């Protein structure tokens, strides 16, 4: 009888030990599952944010529509030019006040324009719009909006680093970099020679 009681007691102790181990394993598995779920959620959020950023970088872009120049008084080149841009297909709105525009020529001239120049009488390195009545620097995604396109004016004079009129045969490159890092590029070559019928102040198509 004593031996039977001892075996029963030992079996009970083994059962309790097994139960404790089982509960511990369940707790460890639950904790591990929680960590995995949290990690998966974090990775999903990060992947979604990265995807949205990548989509913006690819889809946010500008398209050059046209570029014109004004013949210099010496009639040997241009002393200003305008370029018209609009949003690319599927692009979200772009604030030109948050863009940087770089102008380069093959004869070594260069100028960087950043932000909108509120004082159109004194170019301090900002972007100037041809239309002084334009009340927004944002290119809208609404095709019916008057702000769907913008014409940017570049004066060539002593007020900035584009200090010499662009002569006949000069190649000019324009690069617009948005706040998302996308770039739109355009280039043109001034006719060489210019049409002899042109006079100073006349407008010519450059692209």
Q: What is the CATH number of the domain that holds 133?
A: 2.60.40.10
Q: In the prediction, which pLDDT does 102 show?
A: 92
Q: How far apart are the first and last CA of the chain?
A: 110
200 and 127 belong to one structural domain: yes
Q: What pLDDT is attached to residue 1?
A: 45
**Interval 13-18 mean pLDDT:** 67
Q: Average pLDDT for residues 65-71, to the nearest whole number? A: 91
Same domain? 100 vs 149 = yes
**Residue 56, pLDDT score:** 46
Q: What average pLDDT does this structure show over 202-206?
A: 90
Using the 3D structure, point to which of 10, 39, 59 is the last residue of a domain.
Answer: 59
Residue with tokens 């948005």: 178
Q: Are 64 and 40 in contact (CB under 8 A)?
A: no
Instruction: Express as a percent the part of the chain with pLDDT over 90.
Output: 17
Confidence at residue 31, expressed as pLDDT on a 0 to 100 scale:
86
Q: How many Å apart are CA 119 and CA 97, to the nearest integer?
A: 14
d(CA 126, CA 122): 10
Domain, as residue range, for 97: 60-205
Question: Which carries the bigger pLDDT value, residue 189 or residue 130?
Answer: 189
Residue 13's pLDDT band, with cuts at 50, 70 and 90, is low
Please indicate, yes or no, whether residues 31 and 47 belong to a single structural domain of this protein.
yes
| Highest mean pLDDT: which range of 35-49, 60-74, 147-161 | 60-74
Mean of all residue pLDDT scores within the chain: 78
Convert 76-94 to b/e letters by CB count within 10 Å (16 or more is b).
bbbbbbbbebbbeeebeeb
- 49 and 73, same domain (yes or no): no
Give the pairing type, strands 62-71 and 77-87: antiparallel
Mean pLDDT for the stretch of residues 62-75: 89
* 93 and 130 assigned to the same domain: yes
Q: Tell me which of 135 and 194 has the higher pLDDT.
A: 194
% of the chain residues with pLDDT over 70: 74
- Mean pLDDT (whole number) for 183-196: 90
**Total domains in the fold of the chain:** 2
113 & 201 share domain: yes
What is the reported pLDDT for 6?
Answer: 52
């Amino acid at each position: 009888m004593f031996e039977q009681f001892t075996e029963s007691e030992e079996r009970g102790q083994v059962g309790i030990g097994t139960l404790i181990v089982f509960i511990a394993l369940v707790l460890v598995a639950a904790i591990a599952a929680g960590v995995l779920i949290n990690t998966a959620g974090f990775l999903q959020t990060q992947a979604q944010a990265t995807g949205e950023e990548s989509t913006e970088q690819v889809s946010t872009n500008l398209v050059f529509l046209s570029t014109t120049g004004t013949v210099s008084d010496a009639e040997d080149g241009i002393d200003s030019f305008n370029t018209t841009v609009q949003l690319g297909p599927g692009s979200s709105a772009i604030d030109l006040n948050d863009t940087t525009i770089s102008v380069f020529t093959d004869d070594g001239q260069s100028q960087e324009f950043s932000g909108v120049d509120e004082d159109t009488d004194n170019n301090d390195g900002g972007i100037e719009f041809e239309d002084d009545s334009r009340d927004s620097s944002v290119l809208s995604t609404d095709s019916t909006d008057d702000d769907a396109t913008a014409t940017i004016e570049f004066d060539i004079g002593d007020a900035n680093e584009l200090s010499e009129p662009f002569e006949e045969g000069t190649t000019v490159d324009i690069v617009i970099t948005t706040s998302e890092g996308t770039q739109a590029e355009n280039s043109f070559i001034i006719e060489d020679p210019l049409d002899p019928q042109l006079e100073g102040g006349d407008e010519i198509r450059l692209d």
